[in-house]
Structure 1
């Protein structure tokens, strides 16, 4: 019996893990309100040599700190910010070399989802946006491997780092505005990453948020999200319209025997004859 309980418990844990994994894939993400002191820390990304990370983002802001990590006060860092009208600027350094910087041509502050990829290859770093724009830059360093000690910070930095400049390799990062918007589907080397800890950041499931109001879909319609819009499925309700509020849909159409060229439309309890 004990073995059976263990098996059942294992199955339950596996089911919960699969359920949570599927829920995460369906659009859960991080909502950054732009509050002072907000931050999210992911596990360390070992961006030393050949590696990449990716995420999706949506914002209306034209400035703010999107991503940062470093070697905790020595030489190496990588920073991604919003600047110059909502464009992404990437800067990084290795072995205390002059920072290498690139600026995207694409502005991403249009409140639409954008796919962002940061690809590391020793002295080179590439920024890819929506698979449509790719820019790379090379740092003039005597060493080609990047050293990383810190976690991967998104949206801001913890207060203890902002107040202790010696712990930050790039001192100016503490003065960056916090990011305001949404970030979802954070992946490191194609594997989905989960935040370790955060402050002032909300877990956001867009489908739940857009479908939260009771008046989105009426009469039992099922709400889902398509292209950032709430859409109602009225197929099982007998109603129609954008919110399933328009009158009953005819469900039976049959010839009327006593009238030539006529038919009967049955609407719930009403019967109407059309000549």
Structure 2
């Protein structure tokens, strides 16, 4: 969480504010997909993301070697995660988690590749499976797809290693913080995806309030409006004059405060978004 300033005023750390592309709402529309740079899952590597859904089925992750042998598919099956993959045309290995993920709660998902082994982690649950392959390293040629696959792949089945992925239901829900080897992976392009949790609710913040994604949830910053409440709709705050600071927020002048001029200056300089709480 953020740090607590004077009089309990909370200041948010930069790490709590997510880049706009880090938060994606998947509508579940036919033809939906999100394309990320290729994840070279050949040998020792990992990818992770946070997800929230109430759907019991849906395709989460897919990539392959574009029609030869190797692929990895992660989907929601009956409210739990199911992962299967193959190397060198071996019989696909599959693992199913026990954790229920279609409970409209946030879950952290990590896929770890280690040659023939793949580990699937959901929150604190860890499961792994080994493929019986004559080759130990996975070949990857495709992009990393989340939530569905593009129409051009559906129409040319020869480019799909796992043809059955065409029949999987698109994912419906939210995905944030897609990382490969613990580094943010940037969304290249998408269809049927809203790239900001703040866009999911129309007019979420009233009276000029600004929506930010904090801890994977859209929150209204009412500090520059003079209003308060969840959506900045509660009546104007009275009793304290405000000085607007462009791009920073409002400074509340402490009327009849025993603070010295030096202390007032300290608050002004150190807490540009400071507002007295009490």
Question: Structure 1-normalised TM-score?
Answer: 0.72
Q: Which consecutive unaligned segments of at least 5 residues does structure 1 have? A: 1-20, 255-275
Cα drift, residue 212 of structure 1: 3.4
CA contact (8 A) 2:17 2:214 kept: no
User: Is the contact made by 2:63 and 2:142 (CA closer than 8 Å) also made in structure 1?
Assistant: yes
Partner in structure 2 of residue 212 of structure 1: 203
Matched, 1:51 2:45: yes
Distance 1:62-1:153 versus aligned 2 partners, 3 A rule: same
Structure 1 residues 214 and 48: CA distance shift in structure 2, 3 A: closer
User: Secondary structure of the residue that 2:195 maps to in structure 1?
Assistant: strand
Is 1:98 the counterpart of 2:91? The answer is yes
Distance in structure 2 (CA, Å) of the matches to 1:139 and 1:46:
18
Residues 33-91 of structure 1: per-residue CA shift (max 9 Å, x gap): 1111111111111100000011111111110111101111111100000102x111000
Which deviations, in whole Å up to 9, do the C-alpha atoms of 1:211-259 show, x marking residues without a partner? 83354xx6x777666663646667994x7766563586666799xxxxx
Matches within 5 A, 1:190-201: 190-201=182-193
- Cα pair distance change 1:142/1:175, threshold 3 Å: same
Q: Distance in 2 between matches of 1:120 and 1:104?
A: 17
1:245 is aligned to: 234
1:209 Cα deviation after fit = 4.8
Determine if contact 1:232/1:244 at 8 Å carries over to the other structure.
no
- Over 3 Å counting, the alpha-carbon distance change for 1:49 and 1:234 in structure 2 is closer
**Separation in 1 of the partners of 2:106 and 2:46?**
20
Aligned length: 227
Does the C-alpha gap of structure 1 residues 244 and 71 become closer, same or farther in structure 2, counting only changes over 3 Å? closer
C-alpha distance in 1 between matches for 2:202 and 2:75: 32
2:161 to 162, 169, 192: 169
**Counterpart check, 1:123 vs 2:112:** no
Whole-Å Cα distance in 1 between the matches of residues 228 and 23 of structure 2? 32
How far apart are residue 135 of structure 1 and its match?
Answer: 0.5
Computed over aligned residues only, the root mean square deviation of the Cα atoms, in angstroms, reads 3.0
The alignment partner of 2:69 has SS state of: coil
Aligned counterpart, 1:77: 71
The aligned counterpart of 1:268 is none
Question: Which residue number corresponds to residue 82 of structure 2?
Answer: 89
- How many angstroms apart in 2 are the aligned matches of 1:152 and 1:37? 16
C-alpha distance in 2, partners of 1:174/1:52? 25
- Tell me the SS of whatever aligns to 1:174: helix
Deviation sequence 1:71-118 (CA, Å, 0-9, x none): 11111100000102x111000001111110001111111122211110
Structure 2: unaligned runs, 5 residues or longer: 1-14, 241-254, 258-278
Residue 149 of structure 1 pairs with residue 147 of structure 2:
no
Return the offset for 1:155. Answer: 0.8
Structure number with larger C-alpha Rg: 1
C-alpha change, 1:240 and 1:99, in structure 2 (3 Å) is: closer
CA distance in 2, matches of 1:61, 1:80: 15
